[in-house]
Amino acid sequence: MADAAFENDLEDVYARAIAAGVTNVLVVGTDLSTSRRAIEVCHDVPGWIATVGVHPHDCEYFDESAIASIRSIANDQVVRAIGETGLDFFREHHPRDVQEKAFRTQCRLARELKLPVVVHQRDSMDQVEHVLKEELGPQGGVMHSFTGGAEAARKFLMLGMHVSISGIITFKNSEPVREMAASIPIDRLMVETDAPYLSPVPHRGRRNEPAHVVETLRVIAGVRNMSLASLQAATTQNASRLFTRELGS
């Protein structure tokens, strides 16, 4: 919702989310501009919380000034995590060493601020695991829109991470993701949209938004043999626990 795709109808997006039973939303920053916008949005919308950070696609100018800016805006009480950060060796917009420096620095900042991290990983599984082993703080974090399979998920769970499932699980060719979703301990499972991207079936091909997360929940509930209400309660509790921030911290 910090994305420009929601610039003209955010109130309607919020209303549709409420109608679908989605009352809590994590608005993710991917650079300094969207991080500041995420904070603005969350001041205006009840129940929505923000992350601040720099995505590997946007880390070209990640320097001491960027670190200072993230540290400063992270003091806002609507900010509950650092990220989206991580490593993307698929598109590789920036050199790997540049991405890793930004990732490590944001993990350290999260540890300093006692906040979890929101981690992006693409074609970089081993390297992300290595960095997290060395840099992850006790607050842990979440592997965002994870598609790495059950065995890879277990490695990140052992590090103290949560695993979040997106609308990809509803796609016809996503059986490995459905198998993974069935294997994740219920207290470490989370669900997301990655809006405006990855709209679940039957909304695929259109802009994604919070209300659509219900379709993802339905598929996860099916592969886990759970009721939708039970799964919704569990994933809401997990997110609330991970993204809790004590006043003054």
Q: What is the pLDDT of residue 159?
A: 98
Distance CA 215, CA 21 (A): 12
- pLDDT tier at 246, thresholds 50, 70, 90: low
- Average pLDDT (222-247) is 93
CB atoms within 10 A of CB 204: 15
Q: Is the pLDDT of residue 247 over 60?
A: no
pTM: 0.96
Pair of tokens at residue 170: 């509803």
Pair of tokens at residue 9: 């109808």
- Kindly report, residue by residue over 142-156, the tens digit of the pLDDT: 999 999 999 999 999
Distance CA 245, CA 248 (A): 8
- pLDDT tier at 210, thresholds 50, 70, 90: very high
Q: Is the pLDDT of residue 26 over 60?
A: yes
3-state DSSP assignment of residue 3: coil
The verdict on residue 159 lying in a domain is yes
The verdict on residue 247 lying in a domain is no
Pair of tokens at residue 77: 């009480």
Q: What CATH number is attached to the domain comprising 63?
A: 3.20.20.140
Dmax of the chain from CA atoms?
A: 49
Q: Is the pLDDT of residue 162 over 90?
A: yes
Structural domains of the chain, count: 1
Distance CA 114, CA 18 (A): 30
The verdict on residue 20 lying in a domain is yes
- Kindly report, residue by residue over 74-129, the tens digit of the pLDDT: 999 999 999 999 999 988 889 999 999 999 999 999 999 999 999 999 999 999 99
The verdict on residue 50 lying in a domain is yes
Percent of the chain predicted with pLDDT > 90: 94
* CA nearest neighbour of 31 among 69, 5, 79, 75: 69
- Average pLDDT (195-216) is 97
Q: What is the pLDDT of residue 1?
A: 82
165 pairs with which residues across the strands? 191
Q: Is the pLDDT of residue 245 over 90?
A: no
Q: What is the pLDDT of residue 138?
A: 96
Q: Is the pLDDT of residue 249 over 60?
A: no
Q: What is the pLDDT of residue 2?
A: 87
Q: What is the pLDDT of residue 224?
A: 98
189 pairs with which residues across the strands? 163
The verdict on residue 115 lying in a domain is yes
Q: Is the pLDDT of residue 237 over 80?
A: yes
Name the average pLDDT for the chain.
96
Pair of tokens at residue 38: 């995420």
Q: 144: domain range?
A: 4-242
The verdict on residue 248 lying in a domain is no
73 φψ region: left (φ > 0), alpha (ψ -120 to 50), beta (else): alpha
Q: State the alpha helices, DSSP H only, in 46-204.
A: 64-73, 96-113, 125-135, 150-158, 175-183
The verdict on residue 29 lying in a domain is yes
Q: What share of the chain is helix, strand, coil (3-state, %, to 5)?
A: 50, 15, 35
